[in-house]
Amino acid sequence: MTVPAGATRVGWGFDAHPLDGEPPLILGGVQVSDRIGVSATSDGDVLAHAVTDAVLGACALSDIGEHFPSGDPAMAGARSLDMLSQTAAMASASGWQVTHVDATVIAEQLQVAPHREQMRSNLARALGVVDDLVSVKATTTDGLGFIGRGEGLAAVAVVTVSALS
C-alpha cells in the first residue's frame, strides 16, 4: 500500500520490567545505575522499548514482540537502541518518517534529569532525527503499585510519523 502524501499517524508504546536483574540499568541507552538492573532478554531498556513499540504502532507494523521476540536466542543481551534503529529503518521502508517522540519513564527512585539530554540524543540518533524532536520526561507513582514499591519500572511513549515526501 502506498502511503498518502501528507499523511500523519500517531503510535503509543509501553514497556515494563521488574527490578530484579543484574546491573547495570540502562534507559535511553544510558547507564543510570550500576547497583540495580532489570530482568530482560535484551539490555532491558524500557524507554527504548516503549519508543520502538510506538513507532511500530504508528506505522501499523505490528509490535516489538513480533520483530524482536524474547524467545529468540539472538536477542540475548541485544542493545535496545539497535532494535530502535532497525525499527526506524522499517518505518522508512514503509514510507514513514518519525516527526516527534514524547516519552515518560515511570520509576520511584531513579533520577532521569541528570541523563535526560544524553537519552534524548541517543534516541534521536537511533531514529535518525534531530534531538529537538525527542522529549524524555519522568514521573513516579507516588508509592502506588509495583513501581511505587520499587519492584519495577516502566515507560510510555507517543510517536508521530509523517509520510515521506
pLDDT tens per residue across span 130-147: 999 999 999 999 999 999
> Is residue 89 within 8 Å of 98, Cβ to Cβ?
no
Task: Identify the burial level of 87 via C-beta atoms within 10 angstroms of its C-beta, where 0-12 means exposed, 13-18 middle and 19 or more buried.
Answer: buried
The pLDDT, as a whole number, for residue 1 is: 61
Query: How is residue 9 written as a grid cell?
Result: 499517524
Parts of the chain with a pLDDT under 50: none
- Segment 64-68 long-range contacts (CB within 8 Å, at least 24 positions apart): 64/13, 64/15, 68/42
Under CATH, which architecture does the 8-163 domain have? 2-Layer Sandwich (3.30)
pTM of the prediction?
Answer: 0.97
d(CA 162, CA 72): 31
Query: pLDDT at position 156, please?
Result: 98
